[in-house]
Amino acid sequence: MTRDEYATEDEDRLVRSAADGEDLAVEAALRPRDLGEFIGQHRVREQLDLVLRAARARGGTADHVLLSGAPGLGKTTLSMIIAAEMNAPIRITSGPAIQHAGDLAAILSSLTEGEVLFLDEIHRMSRPAEEMLYMAMEDFRVDVVVGKGPGATAIPLELPPFTLVGATTRAGLLPPPLRDRFGFTGHMEFYGTGELERVVHRSAALLDVRVTEGGAAEIAGRSRGTPRIANRLLRRVRDYAQVRGDGVITDDAAARALAVYEVDERGLDRLDRAVLDALLRLFGGGPVGLSTLSVAVGEERETVEEVAEPFLVREGLLARTPRGRVATPAAWRHMGVEPPVPGGNGGQEGLFGP
């Protein structure tokens, strides 16, 4: 690679970094500041409000909180709201960043009284750190081991009372001893279209963008039940309306913009449609193995399994069976593809009818 090519690559990297930083800044600006501003998750909000009010009335720290649910539903936002409601500072880290017990000990020993520690993807924390966390959560104490072998010594370290807020997308991977130490567990549900419309209107007001009822409904209907996606689509539709329209987000402007960004009327993106297209056209609707399907769409197995599949299954467009992935009748209709004649679809009629 020439010097000029290296320079161009560096410039592109800087542009991407600046764009990512801008998106993060916008996301932070759109986050609700308290439970009253937080839209949706009524049951979790009510329960969490009781926990926090009681803790403030006692003058102590709040119980440890575990939030589970799919990405983008507001777990990080709620952790920040918990800190704000308790008038306490917050420290943010993640499970993958804590690979040794010493990493966790360094974080815990530097906490101040009442501080909120937000631990994202808590199920990905290493086992030694996890075992240290048990004692820290229950007794506000950790044992720091100094030395190795027979001469090793455990030095007890007292910790100030703190509140741990753990977030996970896979609650089933948490060991029972860790899960049982949380005083409150809240499961975040996917949002309804009406709630997402409220999210779009609120975010549009903060971004100083005009959006009609139809425009908000169009964006909400394609947001996969997730506020983070709704806000991202809103920003992209805003760009389209400013460049190719009069700056107002109408239903027509939203539909045209999202067509440019390859998001269809049900919220399926390029990867989702590629998976369904390969499943239908190349494999007759299945069943087909995940590895084979991943190769067909040119993506890693984990990407198809963790990014595309959950939404396709939830939408009733794909099913997981012991024999492999199978397209449902709704998938054929949505993609506008004629299914094979009965008896020629690899036995799919035995699963979903002829």
How is 211-247 classified by DSSP, letter by letter? Answer: E-HHHHHHHHHTSTT-HHHHHHHHHHHHHHHHHHSSS
Taking 50 as the threshold, does the pLDDT of residue 2 lie above it?
no
The count of other CB atoms within 10 Å of the CB of residue 307 is 16
pTM above 0.75, yes or no: yes
Catalytic residue among 228, 238, 273, 325: 228
Residue owning tokens 């056209």: 281
Report d(CA 33, CA 27) in Å as an integer: 13
> What domains appear along the chain, each with residue ranges and CATH number?
31-187 (3.40.50.300), 193-260 (1.10.8.60), 270-352 (1.10.10.10)
- What pLDDT sits at residue 31? 82
Catalytic residue among 75, 222, 232, 273: 75
pLDDT band at 233 (very low <50, low <70, confident <90, very high): very high
DSSP secondary structure code for residue 189 in this structure: P
Arithmetic mean of pLDDT over the chain: 83
What is the pLDDT averaged over residues 106-129? 89
pLDDT 10s digits, 169-227: 888 888 888 888 899 999 999 999 999 999 999 999 988 889 999 999 999 999 998 99
Taking 90 as the threshold, does the pLDDT of residue 118 lie above it?
yes
Two tokens, residue 230: 């709704």
Alpha carbon distance, N-terminus to C-terminus of the chain? 57
What is the pLDDT averaged over residues 82-99? 90
Q: At how many degrees (to 10) do helices 290-297 and 270-277 cross?
A: 120
Taking 50 as the threshold, does the pLDDT of residue 132 lie above it?
yes
Give whole-number Cα distances, 24 to 18, 231, 232, in Å: 10, 12, 11
pLDDT band at 60 (very low <50, low <70, confident <90, very high): confident
Catalytic residue among 45, 61, 120, 272: 120
Respond yes or no: is residue 61 known to be catalytic: no
Respond yes or no: is residue 169 known to be catalytic: yes
> What secondary structure does DSSP assign to 237-256, as a single string?
HHHHHHHHSSSEE-HHHHHH
- What pLDDT sits at residue 27? 64
User: Cα–chain-centroid distance for residue 197?
Assistant: 19
Taking 90 as the threshold, does the pLDDT of residue 237 lie above it?
yes
Least confident of 71-75, 98-102, 247-251, 265-269: 98-102
Q: Within 13 Å of residue 77, how many CA atoms lie on the same side as its CB? A: 24
Residue owning tokens 């998976």: 275
Respond yes or no: is residue 120 known to be catalytic: yes
146 pairs with which residues across the strands? 153
Least confident of 13-27, 80-94, 210-224: 13-27
Taking 90 as the threshold, does the pLDDT of residue 117 lie above it?
yes
Report d(CA 51, CA 352) in Å as an integer: 46
Is there a contact between 264 and 244 (Cβ–Cβ < 8 Å)? no
pLDDT 10s digits, 133-157: 888 888 888 777 665 656 566 677 8
Is there a contact between 39 and 159 (Cβ–Cβ < 8 Å)? no
Respond yes or no: is residue 75 known to be catalytic: yes
Of 114, 42, 112, 118, the closest CA to residue 75 belongs to 118
Report d(CA 305, CA 299) in Å as an integer: 10
Buried b (16+ CB within 10 A) or exposed e, 141-170: ebeeeeeeeeeeeeeeeebeebbbbbbbbe
Give whole-number Cα distances, 188 to 66, 78, 191, 246, 332, in Å: 11, 11, 9, 37, 31
Catalytic residue among 45, 61, 76, 232: 76
